[in-house]
Amino acid sequence: MAFMIPLLDATIDRRGPPPRIIQRLSELPDFAWAVSRLTPPPDPLSALGELAEIGARLYLHDAGRHPLVLLHAVTGPAAVYLFAARASLELRSAAFAFMWQAVAAWAAAFSRGLSDETFSATVEPWDEIIDLSVDSGDDHAIKFTEACHRMEGIRPSPVFRAAASDWVHRLIDTRAWSSEQLVNVGIRTRLSESVASTT
């Protein structure tokens, strides 16, 4: 699956509400064209699994900058997979197309794109990651861990466990941080220009 799309300028302040940042993709005339060039896959379910793996790689590549937004590049395809697995081929194809657009938008607005850089695989057992996610009480940790664990079973790749482990430990390591500090490193986002939120 090709993933060559134009990216927003790196100097743009991305601490504001994510929808407002994504709206700036309208400033990139080539974005819609690039997204539309993806050929519909013959197997949308397999393509959703691949898209989730791409999302995990995007997350790991930019976890130090925008982890909260980019974890949705995994949870989104994982959620759509549940629906698509029980849908007709026509609906599967449509669901994949919309999910591809969403992941492309998150990537273009909040990532530096895919990279050939290696990531550190984790030997931390899934049981420990799951327990830490539940103990954290963080909704995103729970849904991200579930999505990564399930997608690894569908499309085996070490990136899923590495991504889930990274997020939960990132939360643990920053528990004492202020809301503003968390916004600055992308663990929280602002839903408005003046209020920081975990959602």
Tens of pLDDT, residues 66-113: 999 999 999 999 999 999 999 999 999 999 999 999 999 999 999 988
Say if pTM beats, i.e. exceeds, 0.85. Answer: yes
**pLDDT at residue 199, as a whole number:** 40
Expressed as residue numbers, the domain containing 145 is 18-197
Residue 163 counted as domain residue? yes
Domain count, the chain: 1
Residue 28 counted as domain residue? yes
Please tell me whether residue 71 adopts helix, strand or coil conformation. Answer: coil
* Burial 15-28, CB ≥16 within 10 A → b, else e: bbebeebbebbeeb
Residue 170 counted as domain residue? yes
* 108: exposed, middle or buried (Cβ count in 10 Å: 0-12, 13-18, 19+): buried
Residue 4 counted as domain residue? no
Residue 10 counted as domain residue? no
* 101: exposed, middle or buried (Cβ count in 10 Å: 0-12, 13-18, 19+): middle
**pLDDT at residue 10, as a whole number:** 85
Residue 12 counted as domain residue? no
Distances in Å between the Cα of 58 and the Cα atoms of 33, 132, 178, 194, 196 are: 21, 23, 26, 28, 24
Question: Do 60 and 37 meet the contact criterion of CB atoms below 8 Å apart?
Answer: no
**pLDDT at residue 101, as a whole number:** 93
Mean pLDDT of the chain: 90
pLDDT band with cut points at 50, 70 and 90 for residue 198: very low
Residue 13 counted as domain residue? no
Residue 51 counted as domain residue? yes
Question: Lowest-pLDDT range, 4-18, 100-114, 128-142?
Answer: 4-18
pLDDT band with cut points at 50, 70 and 90 for residue 3: low
Say how many C-beta atoms besides its own lie within 10 A of residue 73's C-beta. 27
Please tell me whether residue 197 adopts helix, strand or coil conformation. Answer: strand
Query: Cα torsion at 47, 62, 21, 28 (round to 10°)?
Result: -70
Q: What is the CA radius of gyration of the chain?
A: 16
Q: Does residue 1 register a pLDDT over 70? A: no
Q: Does residue 34 register a pLDDT over 90? A: no
**pLDDT at residue 196, as a whole number:** 39
